[in-house]
Amino acid sequence: MIDRDIKSVLDTFVSQYNCINFIENDPISIPHKFTSKEDIEIAGFISAILAWGNRKAIIKSAKQLMSWMDNSPFDFISNANKNDLKLFYNFKYRTFNGIDCVHFIESLQNIYMKHGGLQSVFEQGYKKDNSIKTSISNFREVFFENNHETRTEKHIANTLKNSAAKRINMYLRWMVRTDKNEVDFGIWKGIPTKDLMMPLDVHSGTVAREFGLLKRKQNDWKAVEELTNILRQFDPNDPVKYDFALFGIGVNR
C-alpha cells in the first residue's frame, strides 16, 4: 500500500535535487563534459567506478584520467598502446591503483573491439532474463575475461554474491534513464527505465530506513530489491528517480 505522505515528501525532494544544479558537484559532471555517445559512456563508467568517498576527490581523480586520455576517452581507448599506458601505472585513488587502472583501460579496449561496446554488453546481459542483476553479472564476466590480477576484481561488484552494486546501478541510471531535466543521459534504449535498480549506499540506505521504506539492515542486493520494489509503487515507470531524493537528503543533512 502506498504511503501518500512519504511519496509526497520524496517527490518534493526529487524536484529539488533532480535539476541542472545537481550536476556541478556530482561525478556525473564528468560525462557531461562530452557530447559523443562513446565518450559519454566511457567517461561515465570511469567516473562511476571511482564514485566512493569525497565527491570533490572523485571528480578531481576522474578529471585527471580524462586529461591523461587527452579528453578524448573513446579515441584513446580505441588506439592506446602499451607505451601510452605507462603513465596510468602512476594513478591512485583510494584502493584503485595503477594496476587496476591499466586493466580497466585494456578491458574497455576489449569490450569496444570485440563486444560492440559497453551498451551492447550490458544490454545483452539484460536480455537473458530481463533483469539488471543478470546484466551486471554478464558485464562483470566479460570485463574480466582478459588476463588480470585478482585484486582488480573487487572494483566491479558481483551481484551473484549479493553485492548491492551501487556504482554500477548508478551508472546504469545515468545511461538509461530519460530525464527531462537533462541530468541523466538516456542514451541507452535497450533497457527499460522501469527495470533499473536503486543505487543503494550508506546515505540512501539510512534515509530509506528512516522513512520505513527498507527493513533489511545490510546494504546488499536483497536490500536493493526490497527498496526498489517499494519505490515502484510510487512510480512504476521510473522508480530510481527517488535516488535523487534519498541520496540528496542523506548527503545534505
pLDDT at 1: 54
The per-residue pLDDT for 158 is 97
Specify the number of domains making up the chain.
1
Helix axes 37-49, 98-114, angle to 10 degrees: 150
- The amino acid at 5: D
pLDDT at 2: 66
Q: 50: domain range?
A: 4-251
Supply the pLDDT for residue 4. 82
Task: Print pLDDT tens along the chain (253 aa).
Answer: 568 899 999 999 999 999 999 999 999 999 999 999 999 999 999 999 999 999 999 999 999 999 999 999 999 999 999 999 999 999 999 999 999 999 999 999 999 999 999 999 999 999 999 999 999 999 999 999 998 999 999 999 999 999 999 999 999 999 999 999 999 999 999 999 999 999 999 999 999 999 999 999 999 999 999 999 999 999 999 999 999 999 999 877 6
